[in-house]
Amino acid sequence: MFPRLLPVTRNLLIANVGVYLLQLMLGNAFQAWFALWPVGHGFMLWQLLTYGFLHDTSGLTHLLFNMLALYMFGSSLEQTWGPKRFLTYFLVCVVGAGLLQLIVGWWMVSAGALPYATVGASGGVFGLLLGYGMLFPNQRMIVFPLPMEIKARTLVIFYAVLALVLGFTGLQPGVAHFAHLGGMLFGWLMIRYWRGQPPFGGRRRGPPRMRVVK
């Protein structure tokens, strides 16, 4: 059963596809302003948000996989949290992923690597995956290419470990693995903040409650 497409998720899908079309029309000039560049090599503050709506224009794979994941996980989270909380969560994950990528990019350039731009909604999408795994840990899913069902919690752990290994080993160059981890980290922190759990609050008796977002 496919989740129902809700307004914020739908608008995020439209925004990503629209920006992709602008990239195709405007080319490198558009990316120079809105992709995420390392500090000192074209970085501007708004790029921490705008990079998450850009994608690799050499093919459709990058965009399609991110949009499929946004639809699958985003709709369920939006239905649970409501539009305001869901949008806040997604954008925090995008910015958090960008912040970690900035740190990694600065370190790599300092070590002699050439500066490069980061694009893609993957940091936000990995945050959605983390959120889905925390809210529905025992939900069983079939994920290509695995030939069997897997719990959402197990899927989150698998992707987190994979991103960590690939990030440190460099076995898959050209992919911002630490941005993926940044999206998951900031998503985890956001949910912990809403629940009033450490490091944002003391321990509570009974099940945690979500804070009211006005």
Is residue 212 one of the residues assigned to a domain? no
CB 130 within 8 A of CB 139: no
Q: Output DSSP code: residue 59.
A: -
Is residue 135 one of the residues assigned to a domain? yes
Instruction: Note the pTM of the prediction, 2 decimals.
Output: 0.89
Give me the domain span that covers residue 144. Answer: 7-195
Is residue 206 one of the residues assigned to a domain? no
**Helix ranges, 42-151 (H):** 47-50, 61-81, 83-110, 122-135
Count the neighbouring beta carbons within 10 Å of the beta carbon of residue 197: 15
Is residue 129 one of the residues assigned to a domain? yes
The total of structural domains in the chain comes to: 1
**Residue 35, domain CATH:** 1.20.1540.10
Q: Is the pLDDT of residue 212 over 60?
A: no
Helices and strands, number each (H, E), in the chain? 8, 2
- 3-state secondary structure at position 141: strand
Q: At what angle do helices 122-135 and 152-169 cross, to 10 degrees?
A: 140
Is residue 150 one of the residues assigned to a domain? yes
**Mean pLDDT along residues 102-110:** 91
Summarize pLDDT for 129-158 with one digit per residue, the tens: 999 999 999 998 877 666 778 899 998 998
Is residue 115 one of the residues assigned to a domain? yes
